[in-house]
Amino acid sequence: MAASRRAAPHPEFVLMYRKGIPASKIAAITRTAETTVRYHLQSAVRADPGLRDQHHAALTAPAPRLTQAGLRNLADVLAFHQAEGRPPKSGGKTARERALGAWLNNRRKESAAGTLSPTYRDGLAAIQGWDRPSTRKTDDETRWQQRLRDLQALRAAGGDWPRHQKTDDMHERTLGLWLHGQRMTRRAGKMNPAKEKLLDELLPGWREGRGHRGGRTRTAGWA
């Protein structure tokens, strides 16, 4: 649609201007004549005289800070998510998890305010839904999906079904306990049908495990 047909003020132009983007850049981004953009912004300023002050404040706002401690926290949050299948919580069991949970909460606030550092935003994108406050239900679902992906990766690499006992490998034990739990849930008739179908499709033979003819040769480290 041609810019001249847009009702003034156009919300997209106003939002970009409010975030500190000058009219000339808005015109370039939206491929609109600069005179047209300025016309819309003038209309917006007449309706909201404080808009220009907000534009200048955003224009002079300092860039989001990055610190070495923050980058370490980012790496630890990602590692925690990989190991636990969920983001850390400010009410977690250990002091380190509580610290990481508080750090993550602050990043959520920055994300909502539009002030989050692109470095943090790009790194945390690996955690689906990280910017939404966690609940017990969402944590459980996130953990379930992560365990499924981890077990898929193991099987795709030729690994045998992981054990939940008689192993010193903590990663194998973690996956083994999860898989054992899925089998027990199914035998008790309490498994979500959608999850059972997903397991059947992505991990054929999961119900029987080791010794089943669908099993694969064990790889080094999973003896």
Residue-range domain boundaries for the chain = 3-59, 68-124, 136-202
Q: What residues have CB less than 8 Å from 128, skipping those under 6 apart?
A: 142
| Torsion-angle region of 20 (φ positive above 0: left; ψ -120 to 50: alpha; else: beta) | left
Mean pLDDT value across residues 127-153: 82
Closest CA to 220 of 144, 141, 158: 158
Q: Is residue 17 within a helix (H) or strand (E), and if so which, with residue range?
A: helix 11-18
What does the pLDDT read at residue 156?
92
Q: How far apart are CA 132 and CA 128, in angstroms?
A: 9
What does the pLDDT read at residue 66?
79
- Which backbone phi and psi does 116 adopt, to 5 degrees? -70, 135
pLDDT in tens, 162-192: 998 888 888 899 999 999 999 999 999 999 9
Over the chain, what is the mean pLDDT? 83
Other beta carbons within 10 angstroms of residue 199's beta carbon come to: 19
Contact 145/131 with Cβ under 8 angstroms? no
Exposed / middle / buried, residue 21 (Cβ in 10 Å: 0-12, 13-18, 19+): middle
pLDDT in tens, 89-107: 888 889 999 999 999 999 9
What does the pLDDT read at residue 84?
85
Pairwise pLDDT comparison (162 vs 66), residue with the higher score: 162
Peptide bond just before 9 cis, omega within 30 deg: yes
pLDDT in tens, 72-88: 999 999 999 988 888 89
Contact 74/126 with Cβ under 8 angstroms? no
Contact 65/41 with Cβ under 8 angstroms? no
What does the pLDDT read at residue 41?
92
pLDDT level of residue 214 (50, 70, 90 thresholds): very low
Pairwise pLDDT comparison (2 vs 9), residue with the higher score: 9
